Structure 1
Amino acid sequence: MSATIAAPATTARKLGAAQFLGYAAGDAANNLAFSMTSFFLLIYYTDVVGISAAAAGTLFLVIRIWDGFADVFAGRVVDRTMTRWGKFRPFFIFAGPPVLLLSVATFTVPGLFDSHGASLVAAYVTYGLLGLAYSLVNIPYGSLAAAMTQRPDERAKLASFRMIGTAVTTIMLAFVVSPQIQQYRGDPDGFQRSLLITTAVFAVIGVALYLFLFSTARESVQRDVAQVSARQSFGTLRGNKPLIMLCLASLAFLTAMFSLQTVQVYYARDVLGDAKLLTALTVLSVGAIFVVAPLMPRIVRAIGKKRAFLSFGAVGLLAGVGISVSPPGTPWVSMTFFGIMGVATAGINTLMWALEADTVEYGEWRTGVRTEGITYALFSFTRKLGQAVGGAVAAFAIALGGYVGGSATQSQGALDAIRYASGFIPVVFIAIGILIFFRYPLTERTFATMVAETQARRLAAAARPEP
């Protein structure tokens, strides 16, 4: 592999529409696997495979923690890589298709094994392999934004387009999969056949989206060290206080978000009485991205990333309480609060990506080495922990409430547990995230100073005569 380093002159070049659309396409492809498992894997395990909610909760906890360590491994692979196509782009070609094929396998567990014990083992194996493959494509994808531009406004736009890609895919999943849940309720074999066809079609679409990302992405930010050693990688993490605080706050917020996502389908089907309402809940909650994302650059310019992050967290507290106390007989009340929660999660998630890219600059400012891979890997590690804890807490909550997989009716205790896992549990973790983020130190002024000092240091080094 050649150690080609981008020229410094390209760092000021503005990104074009193709780069923004390609970046959105990349996250759309990622979410054909990621959101599919986040929203529908628990109900697939409980109602099709026959795994108990408690066993599925343990599986989520184990596999998603494994995924977090897979992210760290992928971060080191990325930091060591440099090719004629760049540091990140090759992974979209070589790791993207395996992710999509493993997503098909993850939703084909009963077709592989008949006994419940063997099916549980198959679930661990297929979901674990999916997590490893996903790390090898998602870490390069997330790291790419910091290498495409150093302009804060364009990083905010990239984060916004990323969230739009997520929203389009998530809403599409709701429209496609929710009717299948209602249609095949009580018919696990029919639901299995339908999911096999659905995930296979998604695999074809996803490959096309990864190819579009590969063809439009450009890595233009100068790096002084092309292939980073393990010592350099982990050295940039030590003392990176903004990254550590961002990771801790994100862990709390994402635990809240994934708790809600995990049981949202149960909320629609069992609490509100109609699985088709999942489509409406998803459109309201995820569709908020289309309102929030375009406004994010203006919001950041007006009040800064930190204040915006805390403000959206406060909105999430209100929404979580509303979701849990809404009367089941009036679905429009629940839908209103799901929409408000969508505003909160859209804002927080969009800001997370821009904040993570800023911590890369902080690490380079301190050490002189850019390590997008390991920095994003640590951030992604905490996201996976949030997914693990949120999914497990939600699964354990409905198990404690007495949820019975495959049953046409559920006890009042199970229904209450679903409501609490949808609202009150997220409220607790959002409050924790707000408390942590109050002490986040990296402001817009600090960021501008760091970038200027790093550039000045680079120019001074270039001006010194070679020995």
Structure 2
Amino acid sequence: MPTAPLPRSLRIGYGLGSFCAGTFSTVPGLLLLYYMTNSLGVPAGLAGLAVFLPKAWDLVVNPVVGRWSDRTVSRMGARRPWLLAGAVVLPPTFVMTFAGSPVTGATAALYVGGWFLLAATAYALFEVPYKAMPAEMTDDYHEQSTLLTWRMGFLGLAILLAGGLAPALVNIDGGEPTLGGYRLMAMVIGTVVLLAMVATFFGTARAPHIDRAETEHVTVRAQLAAARGNRPFMLLLGLSCAQMLAVGIMLAGSPYFASYILEDTGAITTMFLALIGPMIVIMPVWVRVSRRFDKRGGMLAASLLFMIGGMSLSATPAFGEVYAHGCVMLTGIGYAGLQLLQFSMLADTLIYDELRSGKRRAGVFTGLWTAAETVMMAFGALVLGWILAASGFVSSQPDEPVSQPDSAIDAILFGGALAPALLLSIAIACTLQYDLSAERLNALRKSRDATVADPA
């Protein structure tokens, strides 16, 4: 039986939490690799490792946090204490990641990577239980899409803020970014994130809670086995991993694309406006598309738009900067659909699992999901670092600019545009096999209700 629509105040309160995901996915993914190679003199391959390894830690910590939040019993509910813990720890560790290093070169990778590891752990404390909350607020198939529309709208604002404001603050003195600019950026963005996370903690205080099955206490191995037994979840996870890897490579390549292809460091801000602007405007359209053609049809359309935009971007040297911004805008329209629909579909797979198993383990699945999501985003930076290292890219410091070989320029063009587009073919293949629909969920509910009413 569908539940009542959620109040707007709750949708807003929940949606504000996406500032955490939007910022922590965007700013390190966008600036951390470039910060190390072009401000601290860290070799590109080693800088990629410093971005990737702290996020690989999520594979361990996220399922654990998911299990903890499933088992938590408190007057604040199962999830909200973890939101508060993340809000306390993430902002200061984020600031320290970009606050500058007392050393340069290879040693700086260890220093920055250590702070980034602490920030990644704090992110898990907040984001894993946060993603589990929609499935516990409402059972309605389309109400979840509406709730997540607010989340994705705020996510778009967060990425717009992070992708537009952060590079502008880093470049506040004009020309190449400075260490002082990175510090200023970290303080401003960290403060915004703190306020949004605290607002979500208080904004969800009166959220309805649908009683679920008794929490299952299982080992990490059993958690992985549970995920493998949920075919829609595994397909959704596969398409999400392909999308996140594509976005990770594109984000990490953006500063290099602006500096070396467009030869305008300020273009990174305008390109982000072109990418995220459509997300804010077009999100309600994707909701209507998902209602008309189901979520799978919407996902296929969004993936194709993202792919076409990325492939077209590779022709930028022939057509110029205005053309590049148009390609990014097309990619942004597709990205809006990808973001909205995958999280709406995630909520469906959580309900599907509970209807089949009778067990409460949403935190298990969201823990695995968040781990894969953040690891693949960071893996994008590692892949780009490998590409740059193999191409002969030369790392530097602000007061020691260098000229890059032609092979490095070609690698930036490939990594920043063509490779992300090609990865979307994997997402499309997974989407074609995904078959969880509203009708199938309703049939499972009726079967469960009939069993409860007549256990014999």
Give the structure 2 partner of residue 6 of structure 1: none
Distance across 2 between alignment mates of 1:341 and 1:228: 41
Distance across 2 between alignment mates of 1:460 and 1:280: 61
Distance across 2 between alignment mates of 1:89 and 1:459: 33
Distance across 2 between alignment mates of 1:30 and 1:256: 17
Give 2:3's aligned amino acid: A
What is the Cα deviation at residue 195 of structure 1?
2.2
Give the structure 2 partner of residue 3 of structure 1: none
Contact 2:70 2:360 in 1 (8 A): no
Contact 1:249 1:434 in 2 (8 A): yes
Equivalent runs, 1:87-236 vs 2, <5 Å = 87-110=78-101, 113-183=102-172, 191-217=178-204, 218-225=207-214, 227-230=215-218, 236=226
Deviation larger for 361-370 or 291-300: 291-300
What is the Cα deviation at residue 187 of structure 1?
6.7
What is the Cα deviation at residue 230 of structure 1?
1.2
Distance across 1 between alignment mates of 2:301 and 2:227: 28
Distance across 1 between alignment mates of 2:355 and 2:45: 46
Equivalent runs, 1:253-292 vs 2, <5 Å = 253-292=243-282
Among candidates 380, 393, 400, match of residue 390 of structure 1 = 380
Give the structure 2 partner of residue 430 of structure 1: 424
Give the structure 2 partner of residue 420 of structure 1: 414
Equivalent runs, 1:271-350 vs 2, <5 Å = 271-327=261-317, 330-350=320-340
Distance across 2 between alignment mates of 1:334 and 1:257: 17
Q: Residues 18 and 437 of structure 1: is their aligned pair in 2 closer, same or farther, counting only changes over 3 Å?
A: same
Per the normalisation by structure 1, the TM-score is 0.90
Q: Residues 204 and 240 of structure 1: is their aligned pair in 2 closer, same or farther, counting only changes over 3 Å?
A: same
SS in 1 for 2:233: helix
Give 2:151's aligned amino acid: R
Q: Residues 117 and 395 of structure 1: is their aligned pair in 2 closer, same or farther, counting only changes over 3 Å?
A: closer
SS in 2 for 1:423: helix
Distance across 2 between alignment mates of 1:449 and 1:73: 32
Q: Structure 1, residues 211-248: CA drift from partner, whole Å, max 9, x if none?
A: 221222214222131x4311685564341000111111
Distance across 2 between alignment mates of 1:424 and 1:175: 23
Q: Residues 96 and 183 of structure 1: is their aligned pair in 2 closer, same or farther, counting only changes over 3 Å?
A: closer
What is the Cα deviation at residue 70 of structure 1?
1.9
Contact 2:213 2:354 in 1 (8 A): no
Distance across 2 between alignment mates of 1:456 and 1:99: 46
Q: Structure 1, residues 258-290: CA drift from partner, whole Å, max 9, x if none?
A: 110111121112211111111111011111111
SS in 1 for 2:165: helix
What is the Cα deviation at residue 185 of structure 1?
6.9
Contact 1:236 1:371 in 2 (8 A): no
What is the Cα deviation at residue 29 of structure 1?
3.4
Contact 2:52 2:382 in 1 (8 A): yes
Contact 1:79 1:233 in 2 (8 A): no
Q: Residues 179 and 456 of structure 1: is their aligned pair in 2 closer, same or farther, counting only changes over 3 Å?
A: same
Give the structure 1 partner of residue 236 of structure 2: 246
Deviation larger for 171-180 or 302-311: 171-180
What is the Cα deviation at residue 152 of structure 1?
1.7
Q: Residues 209 and 323 of structure 1: is their aligned pair in 2 closer, same or farther, counting only changes over 3 Å?
A: same
Q: Residues 411 and 458 of structure 1: is their aligned pair in 2 closer, same or farther, counting only changes over 3 Å?
A: farther
Alpha-carbon RMSD across the aligned residues, in angstroms, is: 2.2
What is the Cα deviation at residue 339 of structure 1?
0.7
Contact 2:93 2:119 in 1 (8 A): yes
Q: Structure 1, residues 72-130: CA drift from partner, whole Å, max 9, x if none?
A: 121111122121111111112122120111101111241xx325343222122111111
Distance across 2 between alignment mates of 1:102 and 1:328: 42
Give 1:245's aligned amino acid: L
Q: Residues 436 and 32 of structure 1: is their aligned pair in 2 closer, same or farther, counting only changes over 3 Å?
A: closer
Q: Residues 238 and 366 of structure 1: is their aligned pair in 2 closer, same or farther, counting only changes over 3 Å?
A: farther
Equivalent runs, 1:56-75 vs 2, <5 Å = 56-75=47-66
What is the Cα deviation at residue 205 of structure 1?
2.6
Contact 2:240 2:342 in 1 (8 A): yes
Among candidates 24, 34, 37, match of residue 33 of structure 1 = 24
Contact 1:272 1:328 in 2 (8 A): no
Distance across 2 between alignment mates of 1:50 and 1:429: 30
SS in 2 for 1:422: helix
What is the Cα deviation at residue 184 of structure 1?
5.0
Q: Residues 400 and 233 of structure 1: is their aligned pair in 2 closer, same or farther, counting only changes over 3 Å?
A: closer
Deviation larger for 138-147 or 152-161: 152-161
Unpaired runs of 5+ in structure 2? none
Give the structure 1 partner of residue 391 of structure 2: 401
Distance across 2 between alignment mates of 1:423 and 1:454: 47
Give the structure 1 partner of residue 442 of structure 2: 448
Contact 2:97 2:115 in 1 (8 A): yes
Question: Percent identity at matched positions?
Answer: 22
Distance across 1 between alignment mates of 2:261 and 2:47: 21
Distance across 2 between alignment mates of 1:374 and 1:159: 20
Unpaired runs of 5+ in structure 1? 1-8
Give the structure 1 partner of residue 5 of structure 2: 14
Contact 2:246 2:424 in 1 (8 A): yes
Give 1:419's aligned amino acid: L
SS in 1 for 2:133: helix
SS in 1 for 2:257: helix
